[in-house]
Structure formats: C-alpha cells, structure tokens
Structure 1
C-alpha cells in the first residue's frame, strides 16, 4: 500500500513538474511577443517600431460630424439647403526611418466625407528625405492657411491649398529655413474670360514656381513667399488670332505669428497679407460664400478693344486670434478683407470688380483628451463696383451670407 501511494505521489510530483516546465517554456515566448512591438521614442509620443524593421510608425486619424446652417441673400429658398449635415473620417499614417542622410519620412492622410454623397479624398501623401519633399502636401506658398477656422465646409480667408510638389528645404539653423518648390497649381487656375466666347479653364502647361523664407522662434515666427505661374490662354489664341498680353501670373505673401503666452498658455495671433496678379486663387479672395453664384472668377480677361489679355489682381489681409480661457476651453476670432480688380473692358452682368470681408468667432471645448466640441458663426459680405445679376434675376450691388457650424471631433 505504501509503495502504491509513493508511486502515486511521485507521479503527481512529476506531472506537476512537467506542467511547470511547460509553463516555464511558454514564458520566454510570451515575453518575446510583448517585446516584439516596441515603443519608438525618437520622434515623440505614439510611434512604434514596425515588427522586423527599424522603421517607426504612428497611426492616427479623426472622426468628425458637422451640423451646418447657411443662409445666402442671393439664392431662392427652393434652391438652397439652409441646414445640412456632413460627416468625415480620416486615417493618418506617419512612417519614419533614421538614415545616414537624416530622417526618411512618408506621410499619408486619407479622408472619406459623407453628405449628399460619399466623397473620398487623398488629402496628403508625401515623402521627405534629406531636405526634399515629394508628393501632395500643403503648398509651400501658404503660411497661416486658415489655421483655426473650423468646419468641413467653411470660408477661406487667405491662401490655403494642398498641391503636388517637388521641393527642397534648406535649414540654416536658429529657426530659419528656405524652400524652393515646383508645384502643380491646376486647382488654383481660374482660366480666361472673354465677353464674346465666355469662360475657359484648361489649366496650365507648366507647374508653378514657389519660394519662401520661414522663421520659427520662441516669440512666434514669420514667412515671406512668392509664386510665378503660367496663365494658359491657348483656347482663346485660336479664337482671337494675333492677341497678346498677360500670360504670366505672380503672387506674394507675408505672414507673422505671435505667441501670446502672457495672455494665456497657447494663445496665438496670426496676421497675413497676400497679393496676386493673374494668380487670384493665391489670395483667398474666392473662398467666401458672400459672392454671387453667377460671379465669374478668372485670372485674365480678353479686351476686344485692344486685342490684349489683361490679368485680374486681388489682395487680402487676414487675421486670427486664439485665446485659452482655461486649458480645455478656448475661443477664436477671425476675419479678412480683400479686393478684386477686374479689367473694366470685361465688366458685364456677371463680372465686376468687388471688395469683400468675412468675420467670425468660435467657442471650443475639449472635455477630455482627443474630443473637441465647436460652435462657430461666420458673416460675410461682398460689394460690387458694377451691378451683378443675382439668382433672382435682379441687378444688385452687394450680397452676403450667415453660417453657423456645430461640430464634434474625436481625434486618435
């Protein structure tokens, strides 16, 4: 009996030892799995090493819903949706690898927007290496770029556009950089207008040439930018043989940012001015809801009296103040004023020189990290030098709009 019990006990101990050995054998495997995806602290929070590589990846994005109210003075009630909803989701991928030439970075942001229909958009996709940038990115001409003007569907105060670029940025140290960039400006082309043949926009044969000087310091920063671009009038050269005139557009931008931490931690003030000659889309003058729907924007206009093309000019001044009342509640005040000068020979029932302004404010609340609630109101008004026909068939000298946006965004 003792022998039997002894054998049972020995068997039990052996069994437990085998279980313990198996469990112990599992431990290194689990430890390896836990260590396999490692935190990458080189580029800040949120980066992890891609397993089996020396590349660090950050995955993020946001989900946003906007509830909009928009009322324009020039649109019949049965043709206008006073209220409409928009929803947007975005995924951001940021991959970086350290090389002997510096950081190799690739960045992608893909968006899906739902309203009347679903609209996919590759917002940004670019590669950065050794000072070079290739791909779709915020234009190097832009600076303030409507920084805290909120909304999926909101006004544009100044130059703000993504472009596909090939650029080089030189870093001079002490906060100074300079960039030279070749950019596809097809989304900023407004084409040619002719009183007899109407409006045509076929883009340009050559990319735009952009350059800037930028500074970032403790007090804030500034940027000076310039652009030279081609105005394509080939369609009208056939219709108007022997014509000549403006076929090169250009623009300049100057902006400054002040960090106002004495007023509140995170407070900022932006002031920016832009001017465009045959490059009006580089000023933000076309980004308001104040203009009539029938208004024809063009970079250049054909003058039948002289047989020349005459470029339109535009300028804007914009500002934005952000103030934090508490670490989680902040307000934004923004506005702009601009003027568009159209050659007088082109004035008719749909074309005129004009001035406009937009003013707005928002209240923003972040109750927890990554969650933002926004309430924003904007008013805009346009005034025309020559009467313009509105959507009711009336000739008017001004038009305006009111917009309210209630929005919520979850960032991750």
Structure 2
C-alpha cells in the first residue's frame, strides 16, 4: 500500500476513536445530570448519660431533662384463713392465693433557679389471675423547692423494716400537698391530705381532709421519726414515734402509736407498741423477729373496743439471691382477747431494675 494511503487510513481511525470518545463523554454527562443524588444523613443524637442526680439517669434527646426508668416484677403467694388479699381480690374462700405485680416508675429531673424540678409517675398492675387484673396509678407528683403536690404516700406509710408491725394507716396514698424541709440528717414537714378513701365513723364518705406533720432524721447510730395527723371529719387524731439503733449484728427498732379515736391516720387500736430486731446474718440474709401489743383493739359502735387487747408475733426472712433478685418470706400470729387467733404470711420473689 502506498504511504499516502497508509497515512489516510491512520487519520480515519484516529477520527473514529476521537468521535467515539466524545460521544461516550456526552452520554455519561447526560446520565450524570439525570442521576438522583442522596441527601446527606441527619446527624444522630445519641443518648447521653446524666450523672447529676445519681445513677440510671439519661438526657431525653433534644432536652436538658434527665429521665430514669425503674421498677420491679413481683410474684407472691399469700396465706391467711378465708381472708385472702390478692392483687385484684379482697377476699376469698381459699387459705392461699398467688398474685403477680408489675410496676414501672418514671422519674424526670431538670435544674431550675429554685433547685431540681422533679416529676414522678408510678404505674402498677396487679393480677390475681389472668382475668382478674387491676391497673392503677400508684403515684404521680411534682416536687420542687421542698413543695410536693399530687398523688403520693404519706409519712404514715413508713414502718419498721419487718412485716409484722401494724402501726400505720390502712390507706396511706392520698392527693396531697406538702412542704418538707431537708438537711443532711434531718427533715420536717407538714401536709394537707384529701382522705376520701379513709375511715368514716358514720359510714359516709364526705370529702374528708386531714393535716399531718412529720419529723425525722439520724444522729449517729440512731434513727428516729415522729408523725402526727388530725382527721377533720372524724375530729380525731393520732401520733406515732419510731426509732432504730444499730446493736451488734443487727438493728433494733421500736415504735409506739396513740389514737384519740378511730380516724383515717390510725384505726387498728387506741394504742400499740411494736419492736423488732433485724439481724444481718450475712451480706445477703436478714432475719427479723418482731412483736406488737395492741390496747383496746378493734372498733365497736364507732369507737375502740375497751374490752379487747391483742398481741402479735412474727418472723420475716429476706434473702438476696443475686443482684436485683430478692426473696422474702414472713409468718405472723395474731391473738386477740375477743375473736379467733389468726396465722398469716406470704412468700415473695421480686426482680428489681
């Protein structure tokens, strides 16, 4: 082939290659223009630990409010002759009853110029069986600068550490407002309580109101509490004193209560004394023998029964199986002067979180 023809052929091949490259570039540019470009992902805000109020709190994302979720699951078998009290039942013909409870507590805290603002909601469901269940609001209150308002337990819900003493009100959960001053080892407060679920001597249920005070604290190995309440509708009041002291391998607890007449704060007897000794046998085992004596026990015709005294003894055993899993068993014997003696108790398994 002559050189002139060879050169022409080479030039034609180059032109074809350049044209093909240009066409491919144009097609690629066109496709790139039509492509969907994914948006940049939003930054993820991870849950932050809040250690300002103790362990277990975390910041609610997007806020400066700290939240803690806690609770427990409880399985319990109650024993008592023909008077079984379960999670969703109040009486029965059997001498034993199994009940299950689930409880969730939400605690929210945030800092303010008046100190921490606290909100608490406690939800509880009790199941006597699959069809007999009761869900309820166990507590819900607001707390700031020593002022608490809402549905919460009063000082009369406190007691000794065992399961024998009977020195509190039958109903201790009220819609209330209170102020409580707190120092390192001392507190004192006053509350106004709505007592609609309380005791009524006339059998009626008016919109009853009570006023209660509470004083307590610690002094070295001693702990103490004094509680008093006045029921305005029944025009009766009650006062109670409790104290504990560490002695040997355990803690001695003593309590005394006096009631001027049956009222919403105390109605078991005109007076009572109770004592216990909580023995810390091991790091996981606590054994608590206890006793109580009632003066003028029970109510007759709207007043305490002057002809009836009673005494009660019991034993409570607490055992920590593993972290957050506990077992408790108790047995109590009550012997009144009038009426039948009663043996009762329960066994409980509880998983806390």
For Structure 1 versus Structure 2, the TM-score category normalised by the shorter chain is 0.7 to 0.9
**CA deviations over 1:39-63 (Å, ceiling 9, x no partner):** 1111111111111111111101111
1:332 matched to 2:303? The reply is: no
RMSD over equivalenced CA pairs, Å:
2.9
- SS of 2:309's equivalent in the other structure is strand
Task: Please give the alpha-carbon distance, in whole angstroms, between the structure 1 residues aligned to 2:69 and 2:146.
Answer: 24
Tell me what 1:252 maps to.
239
Counting only pairs closer than 5 Å after superposition, residues 397-408 of structure 1 correspond to structure 2 as 398-408=339-349
1:92 matched to 2:88? The reply is: no
Tell me what 2:325 maps to.
371
Task: Please give the alpha-carbon distance, in whole angstroms, between the structure 2 residues aligned to 1:45 and 1:381.
Answer: 45
Counting only pairs closer than 5 Å after superposition, residues 60-99 of structure 1 correspond to structure 2 as 60-71=70-81, 80-99=93-112
Counting only pairs closer than 5 Å after superposition, residues 294-313 of structure 1 correspond to structure 2 as none
Q: Give 1:86 deviation, angstroms.
A: 0.8
Task: Please give the alpha-carbon distance, in whole angstroms, between the structure 2 residues aligned to 1:156 and 1:119.
Answer: 27
- SS of 1:59's equivalent in the other structure is strand
Tell me what 2:174 maps to.
163
Counting only pairs closer than 5 Å after superposition, residues 214-233 of structure 1 correspond to structure 2 as 214-231=216-233
- Quickly say closer, same or farther: Cα 1:342–1:62, change in 2 above 3 A: closer
**CA deviations over 1:176-212 (Å, ceiling 9, x no partner):** 22111101123222322xxxxxxxx223444101112
- Quickly say closer, same or farther: Cα 1:268–1:110, change in 2 above 3 A: farther
Aligned residues: 302
1:314 matched to 2:304? The reply is: no
Tell me what 1:276 maps to.
259
1:48 matched to 2:62? The reply is: no
Task: Please give the alpha-carbon distance, in whole angstroms, between the structure 2 residues aligned to 1:337 and 1:204.
Answer: 32
Tell me what 1:137 maps to.
152
For CA contacts below 8 A with separation 6 or more, give which structure has more relative contact order: 1
- Structure 2 residues without counterparts, runs of 5 or longer: 1-39, 84-91
**CA deviations over 1:317-357 (Å, ceiling 9, x no partner):** 1223322211112212233211237898x49xxx7742222
Tell me what 2:121 maps to.
108
Q: Give 1:141 deviation, angstroms.
A: 4.2
Higher CA-based Rg = 2
Q: Give 1:121 deviation, angstroms.
A: 2.5
Task: Please give the alpha-carbon distance, in whole angstroms, between the structure 2 residues aligned to 1:188 and 1:53.
Answer: 41
- Contact 2:49/2:57 (8 A) holds in 1: yes
Tell me what 2:34 maps to.
none
- SS of 1:105's equivalent in the other structure is strand
- SS of 1:71's equivalent in the other structure is coil
Task: Please give the alpha-carbon distance, in whole angstroms, between the structure 2 residues aligned to 1:135 and 1:82.
Answer: 37
- Contact 1:331/1:363 (8 A) holds in 2: yes
- Quickly say closer, same or farther: Cα 1:143–1:406, change in 2 above 3 A: closer
- Quickly say closer, same or farther: Cα 1:71–1:111, change in 2 above 3 A: same
